[in-house]
């Protein structure tokens, strides 16, 4: 019976991920849909594995005997999740430590980490309270107006705590890389994250200045780990095209990201209800 639960959860997770057909609608609709399809399948699998572990390898469920096979399968799955979480945390900590090795300098009313490279880079690196890291090349290349637009974009990432939330989303991505459309949904979430930060910056600076800064920075941004990092020049031609078009178009209202309806996510906890039927 436990094995049937696991196979059912796998089938539902696979089917949901397969329904992704690409970005549609406005920003809020795209965010809610992509986040649901990205998070619900692994949450369902996770809850199913926990339910199987809670019921144990012995006893009956629905008149059918349970066994060690499904119990060990759930244990291996949760262990796999845990190992990937530890690995992800170590990589994130290494990013944070590399940022903290950069000297701390004052820039106006801000404190920033100065990265000793001629490449154009600006990004928030950290967890809940990330630090702003800016390269020397950025200071030397951009005008004060363009630099201010870059810092406004990074302030948007700080405002929405993107480094923290996308650390966990990145972990989910690594755990469900075998499900269909995982990378496509991840790229969509990254685009929407950048569009939100662009929208935040565009409310404070000239959107055209931000678009010009974006073109300059993306062309020479070094490829860095995206774990615990939210940078203006995230690589990807498709991301760049969408962001430039959004900045040049009439502003679209972008609110803080909300999770899709909690009622939808509560369905992922249904496997826990089966525990009461285990004897």
3-state SS record for the chain: CHHHHHHHHHHHHHHHHHCCCCCCCCHHHHHHHHHHHHHHHHHHHHHHHHHHHHHCCCCEECCEECCHHHHHHHHHHHHHHHHHHHHHHHHHHHHHHHHHCCCEEEECCEEEEEECCCCCCEEEECCCCCEEEEEHHHHHHCCHHHHHHHHHHHHHHHHCCHHHHHHHHHHHHHHCCCCCCHHHHHHHHHHHHHHHHHHHHHCCCCHHHHHHHHHHHHCCCCCCCCCCEEECCCCCHHHHHHHHHHHHCCCCCCCCCCCCCHHHHHHHHHHHHHHHHEC
Top pLDDT among 12 and 229 is at 12
- Residue range 64-88: mean pLDDT, rounded: 82
pLDDT-based confidence at residue 214 (cuts at 50, 70, 90): confident
For the chain, the average pLDDT equals 83
Higher pLDDT: 180 or 272? It is 180
Tally of CB atoms within 10 A around 69: 12
Domain count, the chain: 1
Q: Is the pLDDT of residue 237 over 60?
A: no
- Which residue in 118, 180, 192 sits closest to 156, CA to CA? 192
Mean pLDDT of 215-244: 70
CA 192, CA 171: separation in Å to the nearest integer? 18
Using pLDDT thresholds of 50, 70 and 90, give the confidence band for residue 44.
very high
pLDDT of residue 142: 87
How high is the pLDDT of residue 107? 82
Q: Could you read off the pLDDT of 86-110 as tens digits, one per residue?
A: 999 999 898 888 888 889 888 877 8
Q: Is the pLDDT of residue 68 over 70?
A: no
pLDDT digits (tens, 9 = 90+) for 139-176: 888 888 999 999 999 999 999 999 999 999 999 999 99
The reported pLDDT for the residue numbered 218 is 75
Does residue 38 contact residue 172 with C-beta atoms inside 8 Å?
A: yes
Residue 59 to residue 65: CA distance in whole angstroms: 6
Domain hosting residue 133, numbered range: 2-277
Of residues 220 and 197, the one with the higher pLDDT is 197
């Amino acid at each position: 019976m436990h094995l049937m639960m696991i196979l059912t959860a796998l089938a539902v997770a696979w089917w949901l991920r397969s329904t992704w057909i690409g970005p549609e609608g406005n920003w809020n609709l795209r965010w809610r849909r992509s986040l649901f399809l990205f998070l619900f399948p692994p949450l369902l699998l996770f809850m199913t594995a926990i339910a199987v572990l809670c019921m144990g390898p012995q006893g009956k469920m629905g008149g059918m005997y349970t066994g060690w096979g499904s119990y060990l399968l759930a244990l291996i799955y949760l262990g796999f999740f845990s190992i990937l979480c530890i690995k992800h945390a170590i990589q994130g900590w290494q990013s944070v430590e590399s940022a903290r090795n950069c000297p701390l300098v004052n820039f106006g009313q801000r404190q920033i980490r100065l990265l000793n490279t001629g490449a154009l880079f600006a990004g928030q690196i950290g967890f809940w309270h990330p630090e702003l890291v800016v390269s020397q090349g950025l200071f030397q290349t951009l005008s004060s107006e363009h630099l201010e637009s870059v810092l406004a974009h990074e302030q948007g990432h700080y405002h929405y705590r993107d480094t923290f939330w996308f650390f966990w989303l990145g972990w989910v991505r690594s755990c469900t890389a075998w499900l269909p459309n995982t990378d496509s949904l991840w790229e969509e979430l990254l685009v929407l994250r950048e569009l939100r930060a662009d929208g935040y910056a565009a409310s404070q600076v000239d959107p055209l200045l931000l678009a010009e800064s974006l073109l300059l920075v993306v062309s020479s941004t070094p490829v860095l780990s995206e774990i615990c990092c939210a940078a203006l020049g995230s690589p990807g031609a498709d991301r760049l095209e969408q962001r430039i078009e959004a900045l040049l178009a009439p502003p679209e209202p972008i609110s803080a990201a909300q999770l899709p309806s909690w009622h939808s996510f509560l369905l992922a906890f249904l496997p826990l209800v089966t525990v009461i039927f285990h004897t």
